[in-house]
Amino acid sequence: MHDHISLEVLDQDGALRETAEAAGVSRGDFLKRSGMAGAGFVAGGVLFNGLVSPASAQTPKRKKSKKNDIAIGRYALTLEYLEAAFYAAALQSGALTDAAVLRFAQVAGAHEAAHVKALRALLGRRRIASPTFNFGDTVTNQDKFKATAQAVEDVGVSAYAGQGPNILQKALLVPALGIHSVEARHAAWIRFINSGGQGDEANLPAPAIVDAPRSANAVLRIVGSLNVIQDS
């Protein structure tokens, strides 16, 4: 039996509550409309459960400082390692037979690999090594890949949005903003694919007027609960 992530875990910093209130809906309804039914979050057949954070990531704080910028950089690098490895594994599996899905994975995968390279260079000797990942059948089943890619990209967008206000130094802020906008384009692209180009309500490329940011703790709990990280 899996323990679902509670609303409190997903919304530790209150961002979802604030966004929901601004839109005039309850937080529960907001989560449902965002594809997070009930108190759990399911994507591509993968249940995001548990409260484990990747051991390699130091959780950033809200207080701006140069030390915290390093933590934010490491946090972002951990997410980029996961995304780059996810796309690389899917491409290597040969399971992506649809031309549009294959092209998306090739382009997004190249972007994520470049993000990893850029963040590693920016962090220098303070960078962290990549964990080892095991993505199971989310990279060998095209339908599961498509749904999981959408979930991963959506989480990535919310993660960068959540940390942007906490960055002190322009040297990190500028590349973080650049990566954030590309992650948003990835999210819209895979959502368009998943909608069949028809823009159905569940997979609209732009599903809401505001994207709710997620705190580092919320993101790391979701990522850690994927159970794809084998070691740090």
All residues at 6 or more sequence positions from 18 whose CB lies less than 8 Å from its CB, including other chains: none
pLDDT of residue 34: 40
Listed by start position, the domains of the chain span 7-231
Intra-chain end-to-end CA distance of the chain, in Å: 26
| Cα gap 140→136, rounded to integer Å | 7
pLDDT of residue 50: 26
pLDDT of residue 91: 98
pLDDT of residue 198: 67
Residues of the chain with pLDDT under 50: 1-16, 18-25, 27, 30-57, 232
pLDDT of residue 92: 97
Tracing tokens 């057949």 back to the chain, one arrives at 45
pTM for this one? 0.72
Alpha-helical (H) ranges within the chain are 7-10, 15-23, 27-33, 66-93, 99-123, 142-163, 170-194, 216-224
Torsion, Cα of 112, 60, 70, 173 (10° steps): 60
